[in-house]
Structure 1
């Protein structure tokens, strides 16, 4: 299981991303607008750089909901591979069966 500090840090990043999502997306769309002048884009870039580093969505790590494991994560279930296998074998995930042929 991952350390509690690492899990909490990731949760904090998720909250910051949600807080600044509207501002960041507005500035990014302004930067990608062809009709804007160089000065307007420069000002938008400076505002974007002054936002917190953790407000970028790429700083958030996908983690297992049960263990906090970062690697072997399945987006569809929100679980790591180990816990997904355990729950599937015990029949707690509907629609998943072990393959056999």
Structure 2
């Protein structure tokens, strides 16, 4: 049978289980903001694509294009994919990110040098 203190120990492993602040498992608030932007851009991608097609189609009447333009303006700002910033998943560094691995050049080199990335090795000639 479990002790009362063991219950608290188990609850401490569950995010928000001990009544304290919940951790969101992101390095910093900038990374969390970028993740929210990615989700929103994904949600509104189809609608934004359709409205842009209407807006840029020169065959359609100007009134319809203007309505589509107003509807795009009414969408949330973070639904625009231009606002997404590639960040390192380990350090949240915004610059020098290797897109394929989603790691900054510094972390990438460190992991590659210490043989922690399979298939990656230093150039030798």
TM norm structure 2: 0.74
1:66-87 Cα offsets, whole Å, 9 max, x none, are: 1111011011111101110011
| Corresponding residue of 2:85 | 61
Q: 1:33 aligns with which of 57, 64, 70?
A: 57
| Residue pair 2:88, 2:103 contacting (<8 A) in 1 also | yes
The answer to whether 1:93 aligns with 2:106 is no
- Higher relative contact order structure (alpha carbons within 8 Å, sequence separation ≥ 6): 1
The answer to whether 1:51 aligns with 2:83 is no
Post-superposition offset of 1:3:
6.1
1:15-62 Cα offsets, whole Å, 9 max, x none, are: 111111111011011112222110000000000000111110010100
| Corresponding residue of 1:70 | 94
CA RMSD of aligned residues (A): 1.5
| Corresponding residue of 2:106 | 82
Q: Supply the distance in 2 between the matched residues of 1:3 and 1:65 (Cα, whole angstroms).
A: 8
| Corresponding residue of 1:7 | 31
> Which residues of structure 1 form unaligned runs of 5+?
none
Higher-Rg structure is: 2
